[in-house]
Amino acid sequence: MTEKDPFEQLRTLEPPDSGVEAKRRALIAAMAQFDDMKKTRAATQGMGWGWRLITGGLQTWRDAMTPKMNSRSLAGPAFATLLLVPVVGYLSWNLVATNQPTETQTGRSEEYSGDLPEGIVGDAAKQKATGEFTDNLELRRLAPEAKSDAADLLAQAAPAAPPVPLSVESLAAPSGSPSNTRAIRSFAQKPTVFIPRQPDPTVDLEEGRDRVAKFNSNPVKRVSEEPVSTFSIDTDTASYSMVRRALREGRLPDADGVRVEEMINYFPYSWAAPQSADEPFRATVTVMPTPWNADTRLMHVAIKGYEIAQPEKPKTNLVFLVDTSGSMQDGDKLPLVKASLRLLLDRLGPDDSVGIVSYAGEAGVVLEPTKALDKRKILDAIEKLGAGGSTAGAAGIEEAYRLAESSFIDGGVNRVMLATDGDFNVGPSDDEALKRLVEAKRKSGVFLSILGFGQGNYNDQLMQVIAQNGNGTAAYIDTLAEAEKTLVQEAASALFPIAKDVKIQVEFNPAVVAEYRLIGYETRALNREDFNNDKVDAGEIGSGHSVTAIYELTPVGSPALIVDALRYGKKEPVTQPSAGGEYGYVKIRHKAPDGNESKLVSQQVDANNVVELNAASQDVRFSVAVAAFGQKLRQDDRLGNFTYEAIGELATRAKGEDAFGYRAEFLTLVRLAKGLGE
Amino acid sequence: MVTIEATAPDGKEDDHDGLARLAQAGDRAAFARLLEANYDLIFRMAWRWSGNREDGEDIAQEVCMRLGRTIASWRGEGAFRTWLHQLTLNSARDHLRSRSRRGRLAEAVKIHALVEEAVHCEPGDPAEALWGAVRQLPPKQCDAVLLVHGEGLSHAQAAAAMKCSESTISWHIHEARKRLKILMKAGGSHD
């Protein structure tokens, strides 16, 4: 690049002389408008012709995209972060264009209402004393009459609109073939995406700014010293998505930032489910040999939440808090947020309520709480979200809570869902203040979930903290497929909590277990005394959620004992626990979603829980493979020389039906990691 | 050519506000004169926005038509030019948006043919390239750059056109500058 101030160049660029002919045409057209204006100004325009064509466009969009999502072809790396918004825009526009013979006036002007001439609207809004030059999109909503005026104007102006090139149009029409799908996806990206980012050092630096908390793996503990292990459940999945993103981009994730439990819990498992809502969840404990260490065992604790059937679903009051700061404009951020919100909207019942707050510079209500029945209005509001400005997260959160409280549903689900690339600007106050706010609101019954997007400045650490304090989950969405998984496949579990403050405490029997370590959950550790303290917050379980925790146990007398391994390694290997000997006792505490007192569920773990590795269920084995992968990425030395191949093999044999392809994708990641790590 | 049927009563060529008020009241001649006096400004902004003459002319025509349609609803608060700046920016954005819907699809097809590789067509002229980068800025930053650096408005004037505070303009410019450098570096790595 040149050394000159770039802005200097802007001034030097002078236009050519305007064409005489063009100018003449423009002035004539303008005079015609001027003359027309007087005649038509008094006429009022009905709004009835509103949304028909756009709805058609959406339908087309759905038809085009839905099968793709199911086949997971959207999960490809570079273009998977597609922008559906312009596709919708294009398709509706396309419909309008093809409908021209019958719908010229209303159709065309309706199309343009997606991009109304802001100046006109702004001026009209000014007349209505709405005052500020707020987001133009906002103004469109605030000034329906102005919209009508503008639409009318554009209906008049229709002859000047550019013609539709048929060749291009026909390219887009059949959306089934892969090449066309790809084309639409690429097309849907903003131009910024076409700028290669990798080679540039500045941008690399930017991408390295994700803030992920580092932590040490859980140490091995001696049962004789610390017989009790206590932790809060974690149903987040963000870590897996972030690992996936890193591997796909050809780099190993930051070892100390990998949260193994989030990787394990990313996958759907069919653990034994409770039979009724009275039993909010059921724990299944399996003890089995450790694939990576012949001398230890794994204790696999699988918890499955009760799945609320559709008719029983409580009414839902959601407020989306959408980060619309300038940094969100990338194709894998705001456009993906919008597409995600649309997906979620499809899961809501007609009486559920949706509100939208955007924040960029200052927080603004984009959509007052609206019944999902009025889907058109909600979709419209989603469409209007545009990126620009800085991030004032704290003000946004307060505004979102205010909305959620204004439409609070007693006995229902009240939740703020924050969609952000994660760099909250909380002004002079610190993260602590934000935590406190979220915590206080949680107590008032409004929970918070985080949907993380994009990378570069994703503040994973803060998002985790906020979600944990808000009784919510933090999911990281890097592809539309991921949005589909998080918001559609798992909508129920993400939205409908069945138990909160779920804590797990395992007491090991020193007669059988000499040492243990908990795999993952490092960031969720609780003090032993916290278990019975109902004031200590912990994770929540949603409808149908599954949560898995795995301990690696070293039986008494095993050569794997850390302290005694060398000196007493010749002692008889323990392949069977001493008859009838209990490994330990698993206790789970939880509260009802709206309760304040906890209940206790407990279960002993003994010989009945022990199986051979191959006899363990596919899901158990697969989750163990994921645990191994996570530890491998963390470069955990407890994994010994267990290779990526071995992990891949373990997972392949436990792949099962894999209806959504999640496990196949996992295998791909293992291969990628192998290539990068060896 | 459009014939200018009358001059402004006070004879001042550049009294845009006065002409606009007359046009607002329905004075056809005043409106014609107003257009004549402002067309070059409109075209310059539109051309800078779009980067090519054809689009610049289309946008300028759109602005003129919108003027004709909406001059009556101009409230006369603030300068006519301020309003015109705003109208031009918005028209330009609308135009480019509808144009890019078609253009980008064609581009995407082309790109797909190039093995899904992210390819960015580099304009030859560095100033062109820079404008290309400016157009990728968030809309308000882009507006601010166009008004302040393109049209030479002061921050206060730009603030009036964008109906925001002066400090907001300064902030947009600051952000734009930051972002522009990144964009230009990314594009420049191809050179």
B135 CB neighbours in chain A (<8 A) are 191
Please, what sign has the CA dihedral across residues A604, A607, A609, A610? positive
Across the range A614-633, mean pLDDT stands at: 94
The closest alpha carbon to B179, from A386, A209, A326, A323, belongs to A326
Pairwise CB contact (< 8 Å): B116 & A90? no
Across the range A276-296, mean pLDDT stands at: 89
Instruction: Provide the pLDDT for residue A362.
Output: 59
Instruction: Provide the pLDDT for residue A625.
Output: 96
Q: Which of A119, A179, A387 sits opposite B112 (nearest CB)?
A: A179
Task: Give φ, ψ of A371 to 5 degrees.
Answer: -65, 140
Q: Is the pLDDT assigned to residue A335 strictly greater than 70? A: yes
Q: Which of B70, B188, B190 sits opposite A123 (nearest CB)?
A: B70
DSSP state of A611: -
Q: Is the pLDDT assigned to residue A519 strictly greater than 80? A: yes
Rg (CA), chain B: 19
- For B:12-31, CB contacts with A below 8 A are 23, 26, 28, 31
Pairwise CB contact (< 8 Å): A117 & B112? no
- Mean residue pLDDT of chain B comes to 73
Instruction: Provide the pLDDT for residue A287.
Output: 94
Instruction: Provide the pLDDT for residue A645.
Output: 93
Pairwise CB contact (< 8 Å): A200 & B185? yes
**How far is the C-alpha of B144 from the C-alpha of B155, rounded, in Å?**
8
Pairwise CB contact (< 8 Å): A187 & B26? no
Model confidence pLDDT, tens digit, residues A213-267: 778 888 888 888 889 999 988 878 888 988 988 888 788 888 888 999 999 998 9
A192-206, A610-624, B16-30, B142-156: the lowest-pLDDT one: A192-206
Instruction: Provide the pLDDT for residue A494.
Output: 63
Instruction: Provide the pLDDT for residue A669.
Output: 92
Pairwise CB contact (< 8 Å): A136 & B184? no
The closest alpha carbon to A135, from A334, A459, A381, A315, belongs to A381
**How far is the C-alpha of A640 from the C-alpha of A458, rounded, in Å?**
32
How close B129 gets to chain A, by Cα (Å)?
A: 10
Count Cβ neighbours within 10 Å for each residue of A608-636 and write b for 16 or more, e otherwise.
ebbeeeeebbbbbbbbbbbbbbbbbbbeb
The closest alpha carbon to A350, from A381, A319, A380, A371, belongs to A371
Q: Is the pLDDT assigned to residue A121 strictly greater than 60? A: no
**How far is the C-alpha of A574 from the C-alpha of A578, rounded, in Å?**
8
Interface test with A, best of B28, B65, B116 (most A CBs within 10 A): B65
**How far is the C-alpha of A573 from the C-alpha of A81, rounded, in Å?**
52
**How far is the C-alpha of A604 from the C-alpha of A607, rounded, in Å?**
10
Q: Is the pLDDT assigned to residue B157 strictly greater than 60? A: yes
B138 CB neighbours in chain A (<8 A) are 326, 329, 387-389
B188 CB neighbours in chain A (<8 A) are 1
pTM of structure: 0.47
Pairwise CB contact (< 8 Å): B112 & A182? yes
Q: Is the pLDDT assigned to residue B80 strictly greater than 80? A: yes
Pairwise CB contact (< 8 Å): A206 & B182? yes
The 3-state DSSP class for residue B180 equals helix
Q: Which of A14, A183, A386 sits opposite B108 (nearest CB)?
A: A183
**How far is the C-alpha of A333 from the C-alpha of A422, rounded, in Å?**
11
Q: Is the pLDDT assigned to residue A57 strictly greater than 50? A: no
How close B123 gets to chain A, by Cα (Å)?
A: 13
Highest mean pLDDT, choosing among A33-42, A128-137, A181-190, A361-370: A361-370
Q: Which of A116, A162, A172 sits opposite B105 (nearest CB)?
A: A172
Instruction: Provide the pLDDT for residue A79.
Output: 35
B87 CB neighbours in chain A (<8 A) are 117, 119-120, 123
A93 CB neighbours in chain B (<8 A) are 98, 101
Pairwise CB contact (< 8 Å): A194 & B119? yes
At residue A10 the predicted structure's pLDDT band, cuts being 50, 70 and 90, is confident
Model confidence pLDDT, tens digit, residues A418-454: 888 766 554 445 667 777 888 888 888 888 888 888 7
- What ipTM was reported for this prediction? 0.73
**CA contacts within 13 A on the Cβ side of A487:** 31
The 3-state DSSP class for residue A599 equals strand
How close B5 gets to chain A, by Cα (Å)?
A: 12
pLDDT: which is higher, A4 or A198: A4
Instruction: Provide the pLDDT for residue A595.
Output: 80
By percentage, how much of chain A surpasses pLDDT 90? 14
Pairwise CB contact (< 8 Å): A187 & B109? yes
pLDDT: which is higher, A380 or A146: A380
Coarse DSSP helix, strand, coil percentages of chain A, rounded to the nearest 5 percent? 45, 20, 35
Contact with chain A for residue B72, Cβ under 8 A: yes
Model confidence pLDDT, tens digit, residues A379-406: 888 888 876 555 556 677 888 888 899 8
At residue A517 the predicted structure's pLDDT band, cuts being 50, 70 and 90, is very high
Q: Which of B64, B86, B108 sits opposite A26 (nearest CB)?
A: B64
Contact with chain A for residue B157, Cβ under 8 A: no
Pairwise CB contact (< 8 Å): A18 & B43? yes
By C-alpha distance, the chain A residue nearest B32 is A31
Q: Which of A24, A124, A193 sits opposite B2 (nearest CB)?
A: A24
Highest mean pLDDT, choosing among A79-93, A279-293, A387-401, B61-75: A279-293
Model confidence pLDDT, tens digit, residues B2-53: 444 344 344 444 688 888 888 888 888 889 999 988 998 899 888 887 777 8
Q: Which of B126, B162, B179 sits opposite A133 (nearest CB)?
A: B162
**How far is the C-alpha of A578 from the C-alpha of A607, rounded, in Å?**
9
